[in-house]
Amino acid sequence: MFASILNVIAFKQKSRYDYPCDQYTRLFMPKLFFAASIIMTWNYFNDQITCAISNDVKISPDFIHSTCWINGFFIYKEMHERTKYSHFYGIPQDIDRDGLTKDGHLCSMKDRRGDGNPNCHTRMSKRYFLHYQWLPFYICSLSVLYYIPYIFYKMVNKDIISLVNNIRAQQHGDKIARNYFNYRVNSKVKIHFIVTMNFFVKVGYVATNLIGFFLTNAILEGRYYDYGYRWLQWNILPNKIAYDMKERDFPKPGNYLLPPVGICELLAAIRDNRGTHVNDHKFVCEISQNVMYQYILLVVWYFLTAGIIISITSFVHLFSTYVRAVFWMHNPSNCRETMHGKIQSLLTLREIEYLDIIKTTNMALYGDVLRELTKARPDLFALTKYFDNESSYMARRV
């Protein structure tokens, strides 16, 4: 099983149909999500939640741990900057203090008799978190999201896929020239449609990276968008300030995202021969799974951010290429001399991409295709020198 997992995650060296920047989104990111989800799932099944239980509590510890795992844990939002009054982030030193006075001091909403405390003005807000229950599955599902644009790419670019397959099959240059550069077989309308759809595929890659990032930020309650940046800021703090809560008035970035310690409230109802006994219990519990999740989400944050930058760069490159090609087609007098100002009458943008793929994959075949093209279309003879001496303007494919 371990070998099968490694086989899924491993990168295989082979020529691919799509652009390198697109491969980052559809190839690298799903493997990253899959690897992260495996680690999180292993931690999910092997780590346990532990609660501090008084000897006076007559409830099974296993029942408490399991019930707290199901119900979830909470911290108090108002304790965010009150680190000097906490042993753990978001939890008062006295867990009975669940409110604030008018002056902002901690207090208990009920006195020892259970009556309301008139001096305690505002009940503190609870922030519940149950991410440990489903976060590994969410991270794994992102791999599906990031693969979707490639599905549309394959639907749109069947010509490129078949061209690459024919190159791998050692097809002769004359067959490639007759099938891919023949407007009766591959009409200009079809070519223009493919070029237009590729523009939207690029938009899909950008949208996927943005959705992945902001969706993750949304499910983490808006605390994820600057997570990596806050880690960098915290990492440059002196050791004592970074690790001693009493020395600072803000939490560690990881604890702010997913607190590793929380409060669990449990209602225990027991019926025996003497009647029914109902008690409210409050426990402080550690959720060590969240510590592992903090570091995994940190790594994922940097790669998600890189994916947004790479996909936008790829889109801008393709858009500028299209704009430049259209400009040359409508203003041939402004083109370089080697192009002879005949781009519009010589090659379409898609045909130049065909030649670029052939050139980068098989140089000998590239020469054969050029010779076949100049035989079938004498007007292309002027481009032979251009493609032989220079890289095409789409050589740096993104």
Mean pLDDT by 10 residues, the chain (398 residues): 55 69 91 92 85 82 88 90 85 88 87 79 90 92 94 90 84 81 81 88 95 96 94 89 81 91 83 66 89 94 96 91 72 51 60 81 82 71 53 43
Q: Are residues 272 and 193 in the same domain?
A: yes
Classify residue 324: in a domain, yes or no: no
pLDDT of residue 205: 95
Residues 237 and 275 reside in one and the same domain? yes
| Non-local CB neighbours of 285 within 8 Å, separated by 6+ positions | 49, 50, 51, 52, 65, 68, 73, 261, 262, 263, 264
Residue 9 lies in a domain: yes
| pLDDT score, position 29 | 94
Same domain, 300 and 340: no
What lies within 8 Å, CB to CB, of 208 at 6+ separation is 25, 145, 146, 148, 149, 311
Count of domains for the chain: 2
Q: Is residue 326 part of a domain?
A: no
Q: How far apart are CA 398 and CA 390, in angstroms?
A: 18
| Domain containing residue 122 | 1-315
**123 in a structural domain:** yes
Q: What is the pLDDT of residue 13?
A: 62
Instruction: Assess whether 356 and 282 both reside in one domain.
Output: no
Pairing mode, strands 122-123 and 99-100:
antiparallel
The last residue of a domain, from among 287, 315, 343:
315
pLDDT for residue 312: 95
* Cα distance between residue 355 and residue 366, in whole Å: 7
Query: Rounded to the nearest 5°, which phi and psi values hold at 55?
Result: -65, -20
What is the maximal distance between C-alpha atoms in the chain?
Answer: 105
362 and 224 in a single domain? The answer is no
Q: State residue 394's pLDDT score.
A: 42
d(C-alpha 257, C-alpha 260), whole Å: 10
**The pLDDT of residue 340:** 36
Q: Are residues 311 and 338 in the same domain?
A: no
Q: Judge whether 214 lies within some domain.
A: yes
Both 267 and 373 in one domain: the answer is no
pLDDT of 396 reads 42
| DSSP for 118-146, written as a single string | TT--EEPPEEEE-GGGTHHHHHHHHHHHH
Looking at the domain assignment, is residue 205 inside a domain? yes
Helix (H) and strand (E) counts in the chain: 16, 10
Query: Are residues 234 and 353 located together in one domain of the fold?
Result: no
Report the pLDDT value the prediction gives residue 9, as an integer from 0 to 100. 58
> Same domain for 285 and 376?
no
Mark whether 193 and 97 lie in a shared domain: yes
Let me know whether 296 and 345 are in one domain: no
